[in-house]
């Protein structure tokens, strides 16, 4: 469970593709009903490339891919295909080069790397000879890697629907759905002073974040979304009568615009 810095992919002008530019911006949207899809690359002998250019050198240590159909692909930095990321999460490979992938989503932890760009070469698809597709793409760095995991009762992820309910003249109802949005509440107990201070620093930055729940490279349930940490910060409540026992508090996260 992690809080990351805001996604480095934050403007469509940073995205360069060699096919179907009009759908490239969809990789910034956590709603994977929207996807980048190549055009004219529905052949496993062709490679669709998507590159993210940064305006400054950024440290990358987290990569998230959601809603993809890629069997053979490689992630690399600074425009050199040999510059694959060294992965620190357990998976089928120790570097970000995949030849027989069957996962439609994965979250990668990697050794921190200074990058001016991140690219993905999409070579083959899980169903052979299909257009290459990718939904949500996150490139970032960790803010907080939770060494303390909440209990099952202390973690509540919810997809909340923004909607308008219309009461019709015939007594029936109609719902106009505007959007589905994630929110999560994380309750922690017996938090140390050091961890409380780490949480406080992130809270007081008042910046956009990305929340990732139990990210793995296999069988991941894709809980990842851009978010804001809403008030209050309440990790000054003692967990027990003994102050040295630690503190209780809640982290309240609401999905925000990518």
Average pLDDT over every residue of 194-214: 95
Per-residue pLDDT band for 169 (boundaries 50, 70, 90) equals: confident
Cβ–Cβ < 8 Å for 72, 46: no
Q: What is the pLDDT of residue 220?
A: 93
Share of the chain above pLDDT 90, in %: 83
Per-residue pLDDT band for 109 (boundaries 50, 70, 90) equals: very high
Note the pLDDT tens digit of each residue in 80-103. 999 999 999 877 789 999 999 999
Q: What is the pLDDT of residue 35?
A: 96
Radius of gyration of the chain measured on its C-alpha atoms: 20
Q: What is the pLDDT of residue 167?
A: 84
Cβ–Cβ < 8 Å for 32, 224: no
Whole-angstrom Cα distance, residue 30 to residue 135?
7
Number of neighbours of residue 250 by Cβ within 10 angstroms: 16
Whole-angstrom Cα distance, residue 99 to residue 3?
30
CA angle in degrees (0–180, nearest 5) for 70-75-76? 160
Cβ–Cβ < 8 Å for 124, 45: no
* pTM reported for the whole predicted model: 0.91
Cβ–Cβ < 8 Å for 238, 245: yes
Per-residue pLDDT band for 251 (boundaries 50, 70, 90) equals: very high
Cβ–Cβ < 8 Å for 171, 68: no
Q: What is the pLDDT of residue 257?
A: 85
Note the pLDDT tens digit of each residue in 50-86. 999 999 999 999 999 999 999 999 999 999 999 999 9
For residue 160, the SS3 value is strand
Q: What is the pLDDT of residue 185?
A: 96
Note the pLDDT tens digit of each residue in 114-167. 999 999 999 999 999 999 999 999 999 999 999 888 998 999 999 987 777 778
Whole-angstrom Cα distance, residue 176 to residue 166?
8
Number of neighbours of residue 125 by Cβ within 10 angstroms: 24
Per-residue pLDDT band for 17 (boundaries 50, 70, 90) equals: very high
pLDDT: which is higher, 167 or 28:
28
């Amino acid at each position: 469970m992690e809080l990351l810095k805001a996604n480095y992919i934050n403007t469509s002008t940073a995205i360069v593709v060699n096919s179907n530019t009009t759908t490239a911006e969809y990789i910034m949207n956590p709603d994977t009903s929207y996807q980048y899809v190549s055009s004219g690359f529905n052949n496993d002998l062709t490679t669709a490339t998507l590159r993210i250019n940064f305006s400054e050198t950024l440290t990358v240590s987290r990569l998230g891919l959601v809603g993809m159909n890629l069997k053979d692909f490689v992630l690399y930095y600074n425009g050199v295909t040999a510059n694959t990321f060294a992965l620190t999460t357990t998976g089928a490979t120790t570097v970000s080069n995949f030849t027989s992938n069957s996962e439609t989503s994965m979250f990668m932890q990697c050794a921190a790397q200074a990058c001016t760009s991140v690219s993905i070469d999409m070579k083959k698809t899980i169903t052979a000879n299909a257009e290459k597709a990718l939904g949500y793409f996150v490139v970032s760095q960790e803010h907080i890697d939770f060494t303390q995991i909440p209990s099952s009762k202390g973690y509540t992820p919810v997809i909340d629907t923004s909607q308008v309910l219309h009461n019709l003249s015939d007594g029936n109802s109609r719902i106009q759905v505007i959007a589905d949005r994630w929110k999560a509440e994380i309750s922690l107990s017996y938090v140390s002073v050091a961890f409380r201070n780490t949480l406080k620093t992130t809270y007081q930055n008042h910046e956009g974040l990305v929340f990732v729940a139990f990210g793995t490279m296999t069988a991941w349930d894709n809980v990842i979304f851009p978010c804001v940490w809403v008030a209050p910060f309440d990790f000054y409540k003692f967990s027990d009568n003994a102050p040295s026992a630690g503190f209780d508090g809640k982290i309240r996260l609401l999905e925000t615009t990518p």
